[in-house]
Structure formats: C-alpha cells, structure tokens
Chain A
Amino acid sequence: DADVTQTPRNRITKTGKRIMLECSQTKGHDRMYWYRQDPGLGLRLIYYSFDVKDINKGEISDGYSVSRQAQAKFSLSLESAIPNQTALYFCATSEAGTGDEKLFFGSGTQLSVL
C-alpha cells in the first residue's frame, strides 16, 4: 500500500460545484502539504499544515480551503470550482525536525473543471 494516498485519482466536475480531494498518510509525519502542478509551471504550494492545529496558506491559496482532520488526513476543498483550477493536485508529507525537508508525494489527483 502507498504511504501517501490520494482520492480520487481523477475527477471531472462542473463550474460552480464544490469538491473535496482527500489525502491520507501512513508515514506518521506531522507535516502535510497540497500542491498543484500545471504544465510548464512546475509545482506551486496551495496550503500546508505542520500539525493538526496548524494550517497555513501557501503561494496560491485563493479559491481553496483545507481541513486537517487528524495527523494522517489532510483534505483540500474547492468551494466553487472554476476552469482555471483544472490541474494535477499532489499531497505530500514530511517529517518535522529532520532538517532536510524531504517530501513524500502521493500519486496525484487529476481534476478537470468544465
């Protein structure tokens, strides 16, 4: 089983719909992240959480919200999806205090907003 699991793997939705992308991890890491990947733009940070009570905005948080339900679960919501939110979304984790900031990624969720 994967250490970082994202569901669903693919999602097609319509403009204006609310959707949630889920991420769970079995690595026991405190830190979790949501990134989006767009062709030719690399990865950009949406939100991150250093523990259950700590949520922080990343570079491109507008139009997104998150919930850290437990140490192992971090979900990303689009309250009212729009077409330019079509992208590949990645959840990642890292271990606090190691100093080397290695990230472990899920396999991604391909989201299409029509």
Chain B
Amino acid sequence: AQSVTQLDSQVPVFEEAPVELRCNYSSSVSVYLFWYVQYPNQGLQLLLKYLSGSTLVKGINGFEAEFNKSQTSFHLRKPSVHISDTAEYFCAVTTPRGSEKLVFGKGTKLTVNP
C-alpha cells in the first residue's frame, strides 16, 4: 500500500519569499504523484501531477515540484509567493490507473503574510 507524509503541518512565510512544502511517499511499486490546493471554503483543485518522464513538473500559479525517486520525495516549490497563495496544500499518491487507491497526506497550511 502507498502512503504519503507531509512533513510540515503549517508553513508561515512573508509575501515574495520562496517556499518549499515537503512531501515524502512510500510505495513498493511505481507511483503517480499529485499536489492539490484547497483555498478557504472551497474544494480541492489539482495544482500539478507527476506521471512519468521529466522529474520537474510545472503547475498552475507558478508552482513546480520535483520527483526524486531515490529520496522518495515530491516537494512543492514556488520562488515568490503571493498573499493569494494562502491555502492548504495536499500531496497525494496512487498507482497507475488506481484512482480508488489515491492516498492523501494530512495537508500543509501555507500562510502568506504581508
């Protein structure tokens, strides 16, 4: 079975600072990896995904993530955050064609302060 660990439950940063949200996964088979974002009072929406190929994945709103198989990590980064990036971010893992097996991390609450 797959599992995912988000190493920080809360990350406060100042506007225009860089940010990294950390995610590690565990799986004995190949995986698909996702980052979802949940803005206040909204459902989750896909930020980016890694299926195969290039290990650097670019998503919406200037976010990117790098798949590192040797370190079993999929950290999310943004070089300069905005107030509007304040949200909860969820890392998720599944196996190919296994949507019912999608496992979410516990979430990281990013707060961007002026």
Residues of A participating in the B interface, judged by any CB pair closer than 8 Å: 4, 31, 33, 40-45, 48, 50, 56, 58, 90, 92, 94, 99-103, 105-108
Contacts and interface: CB of A to CB of B under 8 A. Distances in A.
Given A99-B51, A100-B49, A100-B51, A42 B90 contact: yes
A41 B106 contact: yes
Given A90-B43, A101-B32, A102-B49, A43 B104 contact: yes
Interface stretch (B64-72, B77-85, B92-100): B92-100
Give me the 3 closest cross-chain CB pairs, A-B, nearest first: A105-B43, A101-B99, A42-B106
Interface of B: 9, 32, 34, 36, 41-46, 49, 51, 90, 94, 96-100, 102, 104-107
Contacts, number: 59
Given A45-B100, A58-B100, A101-B99, A90 B106 contact: no
Given A40-B106, A42-B90, A101 B98 contact: yes
Given A100-B49, A101-B32, A102-B49, A45 B43 contact: no
A99 B90 CA distance: 20
For A4, A90, A101, A105, the residue with the greatest tally of chain B CB atoms inside 10 Å of its CB is: A101
Given A31-B99, A101-B99, A103-B102, A90 B42 contact: no
